[in-house]
Amino acid sequence: MKATAVAPSNIAFIKYWGVKDEILRPPKNGSISMNLSELLTTTTVEFNPDFYQDSIVVDDVQEIIEGNRVIKHLDRIRSLAKVSYKAKVISKNNFPASTGLSSSASGFSALTVAASAAAGLKLSEKEFSILARQGSGSACRSIPDGFVEWLDGETSETSYAISLYSKDYWDIIDVVAIVSTNKKEISSTEGHKFATTSPFFNRRLEINKEKMRLVKQYLQEKNFTAFGELIEAEALELHAIYLTSHPSLIYLLPASLRLLHLVKKWRKEGLEIYFTLNTGQDVHIICQKKDVKKVTQKLSEVDDVQSVIINYPSKGAHIIQKHLF
């Protein structure tokens, strides 16, 4: 039993931070995101009665098995499928992992879809999203297509992601400016544990529903200016939570900050672009398709930018190959 899946990373426009339960990972607040066409994880999972132990290879590196989150996720899938075979997992990212580009989102959604197919599970999109969320919260958003809402819910069964619009709905682009490929010191999984220590965290929860309503309105209207202003403010607000948690989480580098200033400068000069940020140092620049060449040209002239990845809205996780022995 063997299957290969590919899944996109995603960029959250309204972001989640903090979980209600560290095992099931339902979020403290809802979020809205877009799947990214060029930040992809391809994962092959094989269950075989001849395997005497699980094996995990990520980006050509053999992973330590003990305490590994991938093994725990495989166990969930084995339990659902009622199979006991050990697994061989080979996963490959086409972008820097563990740097704040949501490789856990693409990784665990690809793992969920590939392992489920290899184990013979037939699940609905909702069931896939719920299952992926238990591996990594944001992975649930990489299951549906295009523009996605993650419903926070009060139970595991009511916390899942749905597609608001297809990948072809709106021709906005996410240009990722890589300023460093160094792995972040504190993972998002660890960072979520400190969310409630920020004195501003409860206020963030209070205003989340209104921000969710507004961003959905701006998406529906395709109001790029209002949309951009909201998501840029949202990114800075979340980083304020990081900075004021205990211990503090400082993800941005000097190069990141310089780029934020440049985005504001270029916007004043007439190029309508907005930034957003994840739990990492790299900067996501949101623009309209007509401006993508101007954006990439400007970024090519910035010494701090090591590389650029141009992302269109993308379909969600899906099987690309399946073999049943």
- Within a 13 Å sphere around the CA of 171, how many CA atoms are in the beta-carbon half? 5
Q: Where in the chain is the domain with CATH 3.30.230.10?
A: 2-168+315-323
Q: Where in the chain is the domain with CATH 3.30.70.890?
A: 172-311
Structure tokens at 254: 């000097």
Segment among 22-36, 165-179, 275-289, 291-305 with least mean pLDDT = 22-36
Give the DSSP per-residue string, 124-179. -HHHHHHHHHHH-GGGGGGSSSSEEEE---SSGGG--EEEEE-TTS--EEEEEEES
CATH tag for 172-311 (out of 1.20.1250.20, 3.30.70.890, 3.40.50.1820, 3.40.50.720): 3.30.70.890
- In which residue are the tokens 């793992």 written? 111
Segment among 37-41, 86-90, 186-190, 216-220 with least mean pLDDT = 186-190
Across 243-261, average pLDDT:
97
Q: What is the pLDDT of residues 180-221, one digit of tens each?
A: 999 888 888 899 999 999 999 999 999 999 999 999 999 999
Confidence of residue 20 (pLDDT cuts 50, 70, 90): confident
Q: What is the CATH number of domain 2-168+315-323?
A: 3.30.230.10
Any residues with CB less than 8 A from the CB of 42 and at least 6 apart, and which? Answer: 4, 5, 6, 91, 92, 94, 110, 320
Query: Does a cis peptide bond (omega within 30 degrees of 0) precede residue 199?
Result: no
Across 215-239, average pLDDT:
98
pTM confidence score: 0.95
| Per-residue confidence (pLDDT) for residue 26, from 0 to 100 | 86
Find out whether 198 and 245 touch, Cβ atoms under 8 Å: yes
Confidence of residue 21 (pLDDT cuts 50, 70, 90): confident
Q: What is the pLDDT of residues 133-184, one digit of tens each?
A: 999 999 999 999 999 999 988 889 999 999 999 999 999 999 999 999 998 8
Distance, in Å, from the CA atom of 47 to the CA atom of 65, rounded to the nearest integer, reads 16
| Per-residue confidence (pLDDT) for residue 325, from 0 to 100 | 55
